């Protein structure tokens, strides 16, 4: 980031006030999001916006929300989850059986409001019987997201990719909303975690979902996060990224494509 001009000053101020290091994001992306917020509230200069943010916590929260866009839904894009359920889980199961284990761990990194980790939990519950112990670690940088995720309450439109049978099996209807049932909720542990600055979760995961999160990161941060994922995956573990994302070429020795359309990779 260019420090010293009004924009650079604003960015470092927001980083300080929010505790989120914005230099880890692409500058063009941050600029677009800041310009978007300023347009909405009708502020014309970066210096005025900077002053305003020092005293207006609500606007600071709105800006941070705009930057860490939280768009998500259950079984987002559908086909990667179908592939995970029908092609990846059978392979994980066979590998586990060979090593005499019935334990399976998945990390949803950048889990937003929880739709992704609960979707994974539904896939695991559809595939494995009660003999298996399955758990999902779900992390995000955004406290508001994590609070909603923990409540497990969703508007009907968030479930538009789920059929009626799945809705009935995994949700209760509450005042026109859908609440995820306790037996699925219990499988998911939510925790605040910043992928760009914190060390990875110290566990060995059988799969890591990090979908539509790294698009906001610069190349250096992507590298840090991907090296962390490499370390956190068990051997034979899978990495699933967003459909519009790609891995830098230097990672081709670490992650082998399993399906390039669904953006699913196997740890080498
Ligand atoms: C577009 S959502 C993706 C949600 C979900 N993975 C999906 O594909 O539907 C991006 C999420 O990444 C989170 N995020 C952004 N920067 C992050 C960081 N440095 N560490 C952890 N999470 C981050 C945001 O808060 C947001 O919830």
For the chain, which residues make up each domain, given as ranges? 6-67, 79-267
Asked whether residue 2 carries a pLDDT value surpassing 80, the answer given is no
Minimum CA distance residue for ligand 1 atom 2: 70
Instruction: Kindly state if the Cβ of 196 falls inside 6 Å of ligand 1.
Output: yes
- Banded pLDDT at 237 (limits 50, 70, 90): very high
What residues contact 50, with CB distance under 8 A and at least 6 apart? Answer: 6, 9, 10, 13
- Banded pLDDT at 223 (limits 50, 70, 90): very high
- pLDDT value of residue 1: 43
Instruction: Kindly state if the Cβ of 221 falls inside 6 Å of ligand 1.
Output: no
Topology, domain 79-267: Rossmann fold (3.40.50)
Report the share of the chain in percent with pLDDT over 70: 99
Q: What is the mean pLDDT of residues 160-185?
A: 97
In angstroms, rounded to a whole number, what is the distance separating the alpha carbons of residues 111 and 70? 9
- pLDDT value of residue 4: 52
Mean pLDDT, the chain, integer: 93
Alpha-carbon torsion angle 113, 117, 119, 121, nearest 10: -140
- Can you tell me which residue has the tokens 């399906």? 259
Asked whether residue 164 carries a pLDDT value surpassing 70, the answer given is yes
Q: Is the pTM of this model over 0.75?
A: yes
Asked whether residue 197 carries a pLDDT value surpassing 70, the answer given is yes
Minimum CA distance residue for ligand 1 atom 9: 72
- Considering only CA atoms, which of 149, 75, 77 is closest in space to residue 112? 149
212 CA distance to ligand 1 middle (Å): 7
- Considering only CA atoms, which of 238, 237, 226 is closest in space to residue 195? 226
Beta bridge partners of 256: 266
Asked whether residue 211 carries a pLDDT value surpassing 80, the answer given is yes
252 CA distance to ligand 1 middle (Å): 24
- pLDDT value of residue 64: 85
Which atom of ligand 1 is least distant from the CA of 73?
A: 9
Query: Which of 73, 80, 108, 140 has most ligand 1 atoms within 8 Å of its beta carbon, as the pocket-test mutant?
Result: 140
- pLDDT value of residue 19: 80
- Banded pLDDT at 139 (limits 50, 70, 90): very high
Contact by Cβ (8 Å): 98, 86: no
In angstroms, rounded to a whole number, what is the distance separating the alpha carbons of residues 267 and 70? 27
Instruction: Kindly state if the Cβ of 112 falls inside 6 Å of ligand 1.
Output: yes
Asked whether residue 163 carries a pLDDT value surpassing 90, the answer given is yes
Instruction: Kindly state if the Cβ of 195 falls inside 6 Å of ligand 1.
Output: yes
- Can you tell me which residue has the tokens 């309450």? 153
Strands 264-267 and 233-241: antiparallel
In angstroms, rounded to a whole number, what is the distance separating the alpha carbons of residues 235 and 237? 5
Instruction: Kindly state if the Cβ of 245 falls inside 6 Å of ligand 1.
Output: no
Q: What is the mean pLDDT of residues 30-35?
A: 92
Instruction: Kindly state if the Cβ of 61 falls inside 6 Å of ligand 1.
Output: no
69 CA distance to ligand 1 middle (Å): 7
Minimum CA distance residue for ligand 1 atom 12: 110
- Considering only CA atoms, which of 5, 115, 112 is closest in space to residue 65? 112
- Considering only CA atoms, which of 42, 169, 190 is closest in space to residue 115? 190
Q: What is the pLDDT of residues 80-126, one digit of tens each?
A: 999 999 999 999 999 999 999 999 999 999 999 999 999 999 999 99
In angstroms, rounded to a whole number, what is the distance separating the alpha carbons of residues 109 and 6? 33
Asked whether residue 79 carries a pLDDT value surpassing 90, the answer given is yes
Query: Which of 33, 84, 110, 112 has most ligand 1 atoms within 8 Å of its beta carbon, as the pocket-test mutant?
Result: 110
Contact by Cβ (8 Å): 128, 84: no
Q: What is the DSSP secondary-structure string of 153-169?
A: EE-GGGGTTS-HHHHHH
């Amino acid at each position: 980031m260019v420090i010293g001009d009004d924009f650079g000053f604003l960015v470092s101020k927001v980083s300080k006030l929010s505790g989120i290091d914005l230099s880890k994001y692409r500058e063009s992306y941050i600029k677009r999001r800041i310009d978007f917020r300023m347009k909405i509230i009708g502020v014309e200069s970066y210096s005025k916006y900077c002053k305003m943010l020092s005293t207006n916590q609500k606007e600071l929260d709105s800006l941070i929300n705009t930057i860490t866009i939280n768009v998500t839904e259950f079984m987002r894009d559908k086909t990667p989850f179908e592939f995970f359920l029908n092609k990846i889980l059978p392979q994980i199961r066979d590998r586990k059986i060979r090593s005499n284990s019935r334990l399976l761990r998945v990390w949803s990194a950048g889990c937003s409001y929880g739709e992704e980790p609960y979707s994974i939990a539904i896939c695991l519950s559809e595939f494995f019987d009660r003999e298996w112990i399955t758990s999902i670690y779900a992390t995000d940088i955004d406290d508001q997201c994590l609070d909603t995720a923990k409540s497990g309450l969703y508007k009907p439109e968030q479930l538009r990719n789920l059929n009626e049978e799945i809705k009935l099996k995994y949700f209760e209807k509450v005042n026109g909303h859908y609440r995820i049932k306790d037996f699925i909720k219990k499988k998911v542990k939510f925790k605040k975690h910043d992928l760009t600055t914190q060390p990875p979760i110290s566990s060995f995961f059988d799969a890591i979902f990090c979908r539509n999160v790294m698009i906001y990161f610069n190349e250096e941060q992507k590298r840090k996060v991907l090296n962390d994922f490499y370390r956190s995956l068990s051997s034979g573990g899978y990495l699933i990224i967003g459909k519009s994302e790609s891995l830098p070429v230097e990672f081709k020795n670490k992650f082998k494509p399993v399906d390039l359309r669904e953006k699913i990779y196997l740890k080498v």
